[in-house]
Structure 1
């Protein structure tokens, strides 16, 4: 069992950078949308379990993205297994990050969560939002219908 956990842990630690790279525009889109509608918070990607033959550079990711406003972040993080001693520093990071230039990202796979502060971004969350809106069908082919006002917000 420990070996399986170790192999699973190795997979988990190797896929995040590729996942973030492959899905950065959507992550930035949801981060900005969340900040504009709810204030600062944490962008969460709930990722489907990779298959046994998983190869990060060729994987099509199954995931959901949600934004947790700062006021709800501590209970969410506790529920996901983050230790209560870590919560104050995470809440401070959420309160102090620059939402126009940084993203607080939680990656959740199989109820295991890792938190990242994405900084020094080449593409700002505002630009991610703009690019996703401009290319909506590429990102959300089965999402909201084109006439939906739910997909666009003023930035």
Structure 2
């Protein structure tokens, strides 16, 4: 018998996959919007929840801030995260070779550590995430004053 993802991730302390699964549309939106405006880069996600490993992903709201880091700023971002230079070099290779139209690079920071994920073979591409969030903007924002974060030509 295989345990539900919420149970085994909670027990092992590994929660990042569930976080990505639950937030893929807005993360893909940030990735595609950032790529179109600034070229290659990655999505940096700062998770604010105190105990992310014990979240009930079906019910609990996880507070996070996502932003796009263009390639030129990626080394500085990882320097602040205290990543070793050889890791940064390998990550820069990934930034230069990933396929933005079908893949997603994401750094998830929480509790003083950072995990990098290179998502491939996505069931929904970053451009599709962008379009879905744009078309359903009211579902993704709690502030009615925020306006649309999408180009009207999309």
What's the TM-score once normalised by structure 2's chain length? Answer: 0.84
Tell me which residue corresponds to 1:134: 135
CA deviation after TM superposition for structure 1 residue 66, in Å: 0.4
Tell me which residue corresponds to 1:6: none
CA deviation after TM superposition for structure 1 residue 33, in Å: 0.5
Tell me which residue corresponds to 1:23: 23
Of 20-29 and 58-67, deviating more is 58-67
CA deviation after TM superposition for structure 1 residue 60, in Å: 0.9
In structure 2, list runs of 5 or more residues that go unmatched. Answer: 1-9
| CA shift in 2, pair 1:52/1:139, >3 Å | closer
Tell me which residue corresponds to 2:94: 93
| CA shift in 2, pair 1:33/1:53, >3 Å | closer
Instruction: Please give the residue correspondences for 1:68-107 in structure 2 after superposition, counting only pairs within 5 Å.
Output: 68-107=69-108
Tell me which residue corresponds to 1:34: 34
In structure 1, list runs of 5 or more residues that go unmatched. Answer: 1-9
| CA shift in 2, pair 1:85/1:11, >3 Å | farther
Task: Map Cα deviations across residues 82-132 of structure 1 (whole Å, 9 max, x no partner).
Answer: 111111110010000000000110001123101010000000000000000
Task: Let me know the Cα RMSD of the aligned residues.
Answer: 2.1
1:14 aligned counterpart, secondary structure? coil
Q: How many positions carry a matched residue from both structures?
A: 143
Alignment check: 8 A CA contact 1:19 1:56 kept:
no
| CA shift in 2, pair 1:70/1:62, >3 Å | same
Distance 2:97 2:89 in 1: 12
CA deviation after TM superposition for structure 1 residue 15, in Å: 1.2
Distance 2:55 2:82 in 1: 27
CA deviation after TM superposition for structure 1 residue 52, in Å: 8.4
| CA shift in 2, pair 1:24/1:12, >3 Å | farther
